[in-house]
Structure 1
Amino acid sequence: MKKGASWLASFIVAAVSITLGAVMLNYGAKVIYSSDNFQKTHQNGIRAVQYVVGQRPDIYGDDSQIIPHPYLLYTNRPGFSGKGFVQHDEGGYRVVPQPNQAVHLTPKKILILGGSTTYSYPYVADPAHSWPGVLQSLLGPGYQIINAGLSSATSAELLADYIFRHRYLKPDIVVFHEGGNDVLAMMFANYNPEYSHLRAPGTRPIAGTIDKHILARGGWPARLLYAHNWNELTSVFSPMPYDLSGISPADALTRATNAPTTGFERNLDLLVRTIREDGATPVLFGFVQAREQFISRNRPDLLGREHAWIVGVGRNLAIMERIAKDQRLIYLDPKDFAASDDWFLDNCHLNEAGEAAKAKFVASGIKSLLGARAETAVP
């Protein structure tokens, strides 16, 4: 009898211990999962978990800045809000506050194509303070600035976006501001002018029956584990095969110096010809970046690769300048942009003071195309 009572007591103690351990484990996982740090650093994984357990219709929601597209690879999500501002309009363009228009005046449209240095978010929270937004305030109601910037975009994405989407806005002037992101195409082996060696589409999480059962019955520990594992899932698109830090400085310089530039050349050439065929005026604005000694500031992946980046950008700028000369276009040379070192947040993104200066530089550079409509604020 005593032996049976002793066994029962041990069983009860073990069961209570296991139960308390499970409760504590579940509570601890919930605390970690709900923490500000985990929510910030694992947004992708959390969205994937919520999608699999049926808490959201897709892995792209109101907090997704970009969404995949069947033939444009990815686009800005229409109506996106962030940092206290509505960032995208219904077409997915970054908002540019428009001045009051005179009833009799139909504004001329200036479409601006570029990567994150045109898109300018999250570096500049208020869309009105991005350089396209400041350009709008400089030019006034006679012009409508359209910020078609797309973060991480190369000339390939910008060409596709223009062909399939932007041209139907019927712009009068199209400013192409790039030359930096296309350096990425030089950095990786097996160069293909279509950039298939660089970019790839994303995918949704593949969750089988067992995964769904685990998430449904495994509590917070299961959600924590799956959110961590799925956080690295490329849900929208893959911008490059691996991080630049995986390329040695020597290889980076060799590739920046010798890799083909066929893709950039033919993308830009076709873009310029198409813009002209559409009856608009192309303007080429070279990529603006920090001085070499500041290239790796807040960009640890470029540490030791600063000169390679300068060389790669220089090759693309030479292509832009040559095409502008051959096609008799305005070329805004970044060497003429007197940038302060303090304006750069990293290798190329500017603070609000730098954005304002960039807008004035562009306004001055395209002044000959503006005519009497532009405000007197244009330098």
Structure 2
Amino acid sequence: MEYDAIILGGGAAGLMCAARAGQRGRRVLVLEKAAEPGRKILISGGGRCNFTNLGTAPDRYLSANPHFAKSALARYTPRDFLDLVEAHGIAWHEKTLGQLFCDGSARQIVAMLLAECAKGAVEVRCGADVTEVGHTDGLFQVGADSAPSLVIATGGPSIPRMGATGFAYDLARRFGLKVVEPRPALVPLTLGGDDVLFRELSGVSAEVIASAGKASFREAALFTHRGLSGPAILQVSSYWRPGDPVRIDFLPDRATGWLIEAKRQSPRAGLRAMLREALPERLAATLAERLGCEGDIGNLPDAALRTAEARLAGWTFVPNGSEGYAKAEVTLGGIATAELSSRTMEARRVPGLYAIGEAVDVTGWLGGYNFQWAWASGVAAGDAL
């Protein structure tokens, strides 16, 4: 069969692209390897799909070219996607930090995308494991099907149990496109050495400010049996490099000098009791023990209290790794943006070849940003096909 466009991947970006192109009168085929489309959508947001973020802005995306995402994001905004959600009667709610979720199930988002594809007579073929793509006489051949346009929307290798692979990168390289080295992002970090003792706090969480490099996030951090997780850690993991420290402010609401003031106000209090006012019991006990400040704070010199306060405001962990693609929500890196048009997502040197979504070197923060990039990049390509 000959189509106007073949889209490899029936995830968020691929379905959005197909719907837009199909409704413009293009004959579109979507090839999805899994038995059903949108599998990553279905597991997102605890099954309720954190489908966008009201705070979407280009500075909340990582890329070798921080300006690349501006065009697509400006032309298809969270409000645009929300209009679509509301047009389909899907109830939604806002959680913290601009995150929007379905009231019901993530399946509503997949059903909405498939309904939009149906409006454009898009053919969605599941169980299609593409291994080879040909390109002759201006046509891309995928098995017995061909089209003058091919869209790479197969995502990255994060969450391999869902069938994710690095196929997008292999295909891009086959057509001569450069790939920015991919690595796991939005991923828990593991601890070793002296820090391994913090694993005993598995299950304990607290609101902190976590920092890596110049990036800082105030959200919950969670101690696990392998190391550190929780939203704050997942966020900084995208900025962390092996060998670098992660700094945690365990008491972000305490002003400088609070321990000295506490010594004056309550000299017979112990540090553990002071910490317990703001932190879970087990965490307070561990930190107090590590700081070595035993006894009443009134008996401790001011210098020791200043040192303890500084450590609590900038506790340094040096992770020995991450939990890898198996636990990573997304992939950093991907098909180099220098190879693509920021307006259409078409490869500059291979007419008719497009790349969208997670396959591209554009990675958002945790909290719906990566879905918004999927929608926006999918629309950019769909409107250009």
- TM-score normalised to structure 2 length: 0.23
Q: Which has the higher contact order (CA 8 A, sep 6+)?
A: 2
Whichever of the two has the greater Rg, that structure is 1
- TM-score normalised to structure 1 length: 0.23
More strand by share: 2
More helix by share: 1
